[in-house]
Amino acid sequence: MSETTPTRLPRILSGIQPSGQLTIGNYLGALKQWVQLQSDYDCYYCIVDMHAITVPQDPNELREGTRRNAALYLACGIQLEHATIFVQSHVSAHAELGWILGCFTPMGWLNRMTQFKDKAAKQQAESVSAGLYTYPTLMAADILLYQANLVPVGDDQRQHLELTRDLAQRFNSQYGETFTIPEGFFPKAGARIMGLDNPLAKMSKSDPSEYHAVYMLDEPDRIRKKIMRAVTDSGSGIYFTDDPAKAGVNNLLTIYQAFTDETTEAIEARFAGKGYGDLKKAVAEVVVEGLRPIQQRYRELTADSGLIDEVLAQGAAKARLVANATLNAVRDRIGFLPALDRA
Ligand code: AQP
pLDDT digits (tens, 9 = 90+) for 135-163: 999 999 999 999 999 999 888 899 999 99
| Alpha-carbon distance values, 304 to 22, 310, 321 (Å) | 21, 11, 28
What is the rounded distance in angstroms from the CA atom of residue 71 to the CA atom of residue 85?
10
Residue list, ligand 1 pocket, CB within 6 Å: 16-17, 19-20, 23, 25-26, 28-30, 48, 153-154, 156-157, 191-193, 202-206
Compute the distance from residue 249 Cα to the ligand 1 centre, in Å: 21
Residue 21 has pLDDT above 90, yes or no: yes
What is the rounded distance in angstroms from the CA atom of residue 5 to the CA atom of residue 141?
21
Distance of alpha carbon 151 from its chain centroid, rounded? 10
Mean pLDDT of 248-271: 97
Q: Give the DSSP letter of residue 206.
A: T
Supply the pLDDT for residue 2: 52
Q: For residues 95-133, b (16+ Cβ closer than 10 Å) or e, as one string?
A: ebbbebbbeebeeebbeebebbeebbeeeeeeebeeebb
Domain with CATH 3.40.50.620 in the chain: 11-186+305-334
Mean pLDDT of 178-197: 93
What is the rounded distance in angstroms from the CA atom of residue 197 to the CA atom of residue 199?
6
Residue 220 has pLDDT above 70, yes or no: yes
Mean pLDDT of 31-44: 96
Ligand 1 pocket mutation, candidates 156, 160, 198, 252, criterion most atoms within 8 A of CB: 156
pLDDT confidence bin for 191, thresholds 50/70/90 = confident
State yes or no: 166 annotated in a binding site.
no
What is the rounded distance in angstroms from the CA atom of residue 253 to the CA atom of residue 189?
10
pLDDT confidence bin for 342, thresholds 50/70/90 = confident
- Sign of the dihedral through C-alpha 85, 90, 92, 98: positive
pLDDT averaged over every residue in the chain: 95
Supply the pLDDT for residue 189: 80
Closest CA to 190 of 240, 239, 155: 155
Closest CA to 238 of 198, 275, 199, 265: 275
Across 46-50, 90-94, 183-187, 223-227, least confident range:
183-187
Superfamily per CATH, domain 220-300: Tyrosyl-Transfer RNA Synthetase (1.10.240.10)
State yes or no: 154 annotated in a binding site.
yes
CA of 157, closest atom in ligand 1: 35
CA of 207, closest atom in ligand 1: 29
Mean pLDDT of 260-264: 96
Residue 23 has pLDDT above 60, yes or no: yes
pLDDT confidence bin for 340, thresholds 50/70/90 = confident
Indicate the pairing of strand 11-16 with strand 83-87.
unpaired
Mean pLDDT of 275-292: 98
User: Hey, which residues does 112 pair with through a beta bridge?
Assistant: none
Q: Is 194 helix (H, G, I), strand (E, B) or coil?
A: strand
| Alpha-helix runs per DSSP H in 157-245 | 158-175, 220-228
Q: Are the beta carbons of 201 and 213 closer than 8 angstroms?
A: no
What is the rounded distance in angstroms from the CA atom of residue 216 to the CA atom of residue 234?
29
Supply the pLDDT for residue 343: 60
Residue 4 has pLDDT above 70, yes or no: no
Domain with CATH 1.10.240.10 in the chain: 220-300
State yes or no: 42 annotated in a binding site.
no
* Dihedrals phi, psi of 20, to nearest 5 degrees: 145, -170
Supply the pLDDT for residue 305: 81
Catalytic residues: 119, 202, 205
Supply the pLDDT for residue 3: 55
Supply the pLDDT for residue 304: 86
What percent of the chain is predicted at pLDDT more than 90?
90
68-114 per-position pLDDT tens digit: 999 999 999 999 999 999 999 999 999 999 999 999 999 999 999 99
Closest CA to 70 of 88, 90, 87, 91: 87
Superfamily per CATH, domain 11-186+305-334: HUPs (3.40.50.620)
Look at 4 and 294; give whichever has higher pLDDT: 294
What percent of the chain is predicted at pLDDT more than 70?
98
